[in-house]
């Protein structure tokens, strides 16, 4: 791939991702058992995962988007989170499925779950494509997990580095990381 050089290391191929997303979609379909879902897509990193995942869920659903910004340096969030774009409809009484790209420290998701609970949804559950156990600071309940990843800054399939690489079809990391 022309955007990538020899510092790139593949973690998950497109085939492996597609297979895992199919499995997650089937699991969600089974567990919600005909109940309508509100899929809450956390921008920007999860938009590609969400687009693939909802097409593997055989339930009536609607899609909402929320924009979050975590303050901190390039690689570490401080846990101070701001909602940069909120949902367009109330979530009261709905079964909300949060779709995240990656749980790293867990602070962003912890904030979001607490914030959503004040809006009186019927339930809140989480689907995250990736989870980095080495860096977890708070425990967050990820009911539907794609893959665990090593303590590397991962890119591709929607995840960026400084705004780039979201369009890489697979998931990998750059080592040494770009400066």
Give contact residues for ligand 5GP (rule: CB under 6 A): 45, 70, 77, 100-109, 153-155, 159-161
Instruction: Give the tokens for residue 60.
Output: 């009536």
List active site positions.
104
Residue (of 114, 116, 109) closest to 86 by Cα position: 116
| d(C-alpha 55, C-alpha 46), whole Å | 14
Q: Residue 135 CB, nearest distance to ligand 5GP (Å)?
A: 7
Which residue is listed with tokens 């089974």? Answer: 30
Q: Which is nearer to ligand 5GP, 75 or 122 (CB)?
A: 75
11 close to 154: Cβ distance less than 8 angstroms? yes
d(C-alpha 172, C-alpha 11), whole Å: 5
Of 29 and 51, the one with the shorter C-beta distance to ligand 5GP is 51
CB of 48 to ligand 5GP, least distance (A): 12
**Closer to ligand 5GP at the Cβ: 36 or 78?**
78
Least distance in angstroms from the C-beta of 69 to ligand 5GP? 10
Is 49 in contact with 12 (CB distance < 8 Å)? Answer: no
Decide whether 52 or 160 has the Cβ nearer to ligand 5GP. 160
Nearest approach, Cβ of 152 to ligand 5GP (angstroms)? 7
Burial category of 60 from C-beta neighbours within 10 Å (exposed 0-12, middle 13-18, buried 19 and up): exposed
């Amino acid at each position: 791939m022309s955007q990538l050089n020899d510092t790139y290391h593949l973690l998950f191929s497109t085939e492996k991702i597609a297979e895992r997303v199919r499995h997650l979609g089937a699991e969600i379909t089974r567990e919600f058992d005909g109940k309508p879902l509100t899929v809450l897509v956390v921008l920007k990193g999860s938009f590609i995962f969400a687009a693939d995942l909802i097409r593997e869920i055989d339930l009536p659903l609607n899609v909402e988007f929320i924009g979050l910004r975590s303050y901190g340096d390039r690689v570490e969030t401080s846990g101070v989170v701001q909602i940069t774009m909120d949902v367009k409809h109330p979530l009261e009484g709905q079964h909300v499925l949060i779709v995240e790209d990656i749980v790293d420290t867990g602070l962003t998701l912890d904030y979001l779950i607490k914030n959503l609970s004040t809006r009186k949804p019927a339930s809140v559950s989480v689907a995250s494509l990736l989870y980095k156990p080495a860096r977890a600071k708070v425990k967050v309940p990820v009911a539907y997990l794609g893959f665990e990843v090593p303590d590397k800054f991962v890119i591709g399939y929607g995840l960026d580095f400084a705004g780039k690489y979201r369009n890489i079809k697979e998931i990998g990391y750059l080592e040494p990381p770009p400066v």
